Structure 1
Amino acid sequence: MRLKYAAISLLLTLALVATPAMAKKKQKKQVDALHTLAGMSNASMIMEENGKTRISKRADVPRVPASTMKLVTALAAIERWGLKHRFHTDFYVDKQNKLWIKGYGDPFLVSEELALIVTALKGKGLKQINGIVLDGSYYAPNLVIDGRSQTDNPYDAPITALAANFNTAAIKKTKKREVVISDKRTPLTPISIELTKTKIRKHGNWRVNLGTGKRAERYFGELFSAKLKEQGVKVRGEITTGKVNRHWKPYYSHKNSRDLEKVLKSMLYSSSNFIANQLFLQFAEREANGRPITMAMASRAMMKWSKNRFHWNDYSILEGSGLSRGTKLSARQMMQVVKAFTPYRFLLRTFKKGKVMAKTGTLKGVSCYAGFVNRQGKWQPFCVLINQSVGGNLRKDAALQMTSHKKLPAICDDPSC
């Protein structure tokens, strides 16, 4: 028994001795994060406290921002449309009783939303249709997103004016290689069955993107047809494409049940490239002036807005999600966006037990972080842009260091410090 108590006493003593040393070691690691960044030639950072620059290193060098670019897209969308804005889709019924659907890039036409649309159409007396005609002419055909890869991953989904479930399909293959429903809200369609057979080799639940704009548009028509049938609407005829006569009046105009606030929160939480580029394209509607919107139009519109809003020089914006390595912003420019985002920071994810509210950005050889750190009870803006290969925790360790020390290290090459 005495040996047992002696052993316990020894362990407690070792714990008390070890704790300060361990804390010191951990503290040293956090301090090193900012100094490590300061010593990296392809990294930039800036941080303010109560309006005064406290940390700055190479803050004016243009860098690839990766998904922190979504902060720019989100801010532009808020200032253009407001958080209560709802995206819409128009429906028409012609003399042959065909249902025409014209899309305007609603990024959140998920299965549940399609069910709401069908309910509304039934409420207006729709009982039978003799075909579905899809009009995706709001966007130019065959859009090319700079930086988008040809993978099956959801983050590489194509962009179309009519899109269901973020232009992805939830699919399931059983151990017996059977194709079954993966999501009870989403019926199987010919395209989802085809994708399961051709893309999925292992059994289990999967989500893949639809690959091409043409397939995505067709999938929208198939899924909408299935949702109509689920609610008892008789569907005859084929699914085709066409362009709505501009003199027609909508049979029904649907506004999404989710407003822009919910759309942005989803985009920033999941880092959805699909949502970001839908917003990016729609931002060019004024410039398009009735013409099909192109990525070049959207780029010019966002560049113009950024120039007018922040008076920037020496920057480029090619798309809205951060996929493009041709998009270049400096840490100081991103800091301006973060500061303007202050009223909307509740849209951001929190990290490090609520000490950091920020957006990450990651590509191969790119690691970025921008948002707010909590110092002594106040949220302070920061930005870290790393354009070289580093460990994934360096950016987060740097942000955490900004929160956990009363006196920040003297790292500044800016006269305003």
Structure 2
Amino acid sequence: MTPAPFSTRSLDSLSSSLPGTPTMNREHAFRNKVSISFPRSRWCGNLKRTGAQVSMSMAVRLTLLILAAGQAVASAEPALGIRKSPLRQLLSVYSESPLLEGARISIYVLDLETATEVFAKNPDSLVNPASVTKIFTTAAALCLLHPDYRFKVEVLADKEPVDGILRGRLYLKGYGDPWLVEQRLLQLAMKLKVAGLKQFSGTVVVDDSFFDDRRWGPGWEQEIEGHEAYLAPVGALSADFNTVRVLVFPGKRIGARARISLVPNGGDVRMAGTVTTSGRYTRIRLEMEPGPRRDRIKIAGRIHYRSAGWEGRVRVSRPALHAGYAFAEALRQLGVRCRCHVRRGQAPQRAKHLATTWSPPLSEMIRKVNKYSQNFMAEVFFKTLGAEILGPPGSWEKGRQVMSQFIKDNLGMPPGTYVLHNGSGLNDVNRVSARQVVELLRYMWGRFDARADFLASLALAGADGTVDGRFERPGIIRNLRVKTGGLHNVRALAGYASNRAGHTLAFAFLASDFNCSGKTITGIIDSFASALVESDASLRVDESALVVPESAVEFAGP
């Protein structure tokens, strides 16, 4: 999902829109005498066609022949007519493509069964890993906090309710819970109602002192303007990922005003503008304007009269207040009479405990982070590491110190050999090498207590997460568990490949500063990873099983 020109935002959440690698008609290629060459122009994603598309597996063979100067690189099995090529040489074809000329590349592949190097190209060069950074964050969280770690949110008060009536201050205290969604707010409110609460009047004091007051991490300032949900601020007390959902439904007839709802419907956000029911396609624009007391969402556009509904998300600017208003609204929805206002503060030590809600275990939540590249949750984990290991308040600096010690103790990488300033990988502040990424993957493969949860958190090729819609060939689907990364002029892929011999290969392909389209680079990386899966016990690959991305070759007429 990538508009041009690029904005420096994570493209992982959009990767489901990237098409899978196409297959071509081989016979048609022969009939049209297709020649293949690598274009030298800057816009190397552009193609020249002769009316027919060429077989991708044929493209692999012809490219190899060109690079080998006419020497055969594949072994033949006459009885079966199968041509196999050494995996290392095929990987060199991808990694040395003229399309990557001038790019910063770091690649490393390790066979975890034999502990032998399979392939390397600039393995120690430091490259921006984009969202591949998240596997460092989630690995440290699993190992240091424990897979069963749960976040909590507490409700406290200065005194117990009397005859179902509570007056004074009600405290909502957060400990970094990134999964306080609407359903859990309702469950927390239900605990109070079941305990006998019928009416509350006074002040909801929101306590987010478990973290410091810095809301956006290092590197986020490079694109802090805007309303995008992937840039939601980080706080110790957060509701619904510190975003507001905007729901739009068509009116009863064309020309009528559409119905608009906010979820959660709190007192810290106001809506301005209208949407019209139309006979044309749906087109809606959102914009968030932070205010001194309330945020204002500006909406405009149209919705098709037959639409089942439209949903968008915008970030909020004051996380704790947003959570407090959402909690008060949850009480009202359950029939508790609630007349209150919300402000920030700290719960006193003597406050009486009324209720607690616990998040799902960390082992479940990291799946959202790695499969769908959830920035907000990754940064919460990063700050929580600092708060739990070094003491509250959690901060990015404390998180960086804990991460540095974890990497030194377990991966043997001293500070200064890499750069990790935040937990999500947003923007241009992190640098690692492919060898360092693979070393982390190797370490987690050997951690019996955390291995299963870590593997389950990675996206399955062609099946879910940010690679749903990629790697769709039957032989590749579900044989790669990966983390993707994408920013402006950055593409990355790292994870585990299970090849035809049952060996697990840990790999990382990091690319930045390239001069062609991101789609072109993604195609090369995907073909590289697919070749790992297609390799056999002798690390050779059946050429007919390979696919070269369409954007990696130029078609010329006879």
TM-score, structure 2 as length reference: 0.65
Partner of 2:290: none
Partner of 1:227: 330
Matched, 1:307 2:408: yes
Choose the corresponding residue for 2:147, options 68, 71, 83. Answer: 83
Matches within 5 A, 1:9-408: 22=55, 24-28=57-61, 32-36=93-97, 42-49=104-111, 50=113, 51-95=115-159, 96-130=167-201, 131-148=203-220, 149-150=223-224, 151-173=226-248, 176=256, 180-181=260-261, 186-194=263-271, 198-203=297-302, 205-212=310-317, 214=318, 216-256=319-359, 258-286=360-388, 288-290=390-392, 292-313=393-414, 314-342=417-445, 343=451, 344-351=454-461, 352=471, 353-376=477-500, 377-389=502-514, 390=518, 391=520, 392-406=522-536, 407=539
Matched position secondary structure for 1:137: coil
The C-alpha deviation readout for 1:309-340, integer Å capped at 9, x for no partner, is 21213112111000142211111111011123
Contact 1:66/1:366, CA 8 A, preserved across alignment = yes
Structure 2 residue identity aligned to 1:33 = Y
Contact 1:335/1:383, CA 8 A, preserved across alignment = yes
Matched position secondary structure for 1:68: helix
Bigger strand share: 2
Contact 2:189/2:330, CA 8 A, preserved across alignment = yes
Deviates more, 1:62-71 or 1:374-383: 374-383
Report the Cα offset of residue 26 of structure 1: 4.9
Relative to 1, partners in 2 of residues 1:193 and 1:206: Cα closer, same or farther, differing over 3 Å? farther
Partner of 2:15: none
CA distance in 2, matches of 1:14, 1:69: 44
Deviates more, 1:71-80 or 1:196-205: 196-205
Report the Cα offset of residue 132 of structure 1: 1.1
- Sequence identity, in percent? 22
Relative to 1, partners in 2 of residues 1:155 and 1:73: Cα closer, same or farther, differing over 3 Å? same
Contact 2:106/2:511, CA 8 A, preserved across alignment = yes
CA distance in 1, matches of 2:128, 2:482: 17
Report the Cα offset of residue 187 of structure 1: 4.5
Aligned residue pair count: 390
CA distance in 2, matches of 1:14, 1:317: 50
The C-alpha deviation readout for 1:33-90, integer Å capped at 9, x for no partner, is 2333886651011111222111011111121111011101111111112222211111
Deviates more, 1:116-125 or 1:264-273: 116-125
Contact 1:218/1:239, CA 8 A, preserved across alignment = yes
Relative to 1, partners in 2 of residues 1:398 and 1:162: Cα closer, same or farther, differing over 3 Å? same
Matched position secondary structure for 1:402: helix
TM-score, structure 1 as length reference: 0.85
What is the RMSD computed on CA atoms of the aligned residues? Answer: 2.8
CA distance in 2, matches of 1:158, 1:13: 52
The C-alpha deviation readout for 1:202-251, integer Å capped at 9, x for no partner, is 24534333342x2x322212211111111111212211221111343422
CA distance in 1, matches of 2:408, 2:261: 48
CA distance in 2, matches of 1:381, 1:360: 14
Bigger helix share: 1
Relative to 1, partners in 2 of residues 1:338 and 1:374: Cα closer, same or farther, differing over 3 Å? same
Partner of 1:7: none
Relative to 1, partners in 2 of residues 1:115 and 1:42: Cα closer, same or farther, differing over 3 Å? same
Question: Structure 1: any 5+ residue segments left out of the alignment?
Answer: 1-11, 410-417
CA distance in 2, matches of 1:272, 1:16: 43
Matched position secondary structure for 1:201: strand
Matched position secondary structure for 1:341: helix
Relative to 1, partners in 2 of residues 1:191 and 1:394: Cα closer, same or farther, differing over 3 Å? farther
Structure 1 residue identity aligned to 2:411 = F
Report the Cα offset of residue 173 of structure 1: 4.2
CA distance in 2, matches of 1:366, 1:105: 30
CA distance in 2, matches of 1:63, 1:283: 25
CA distance in 1, matches of 2:259, 2:410: 51
Report the Cα offset of residue 23 of structure 1: 5.5
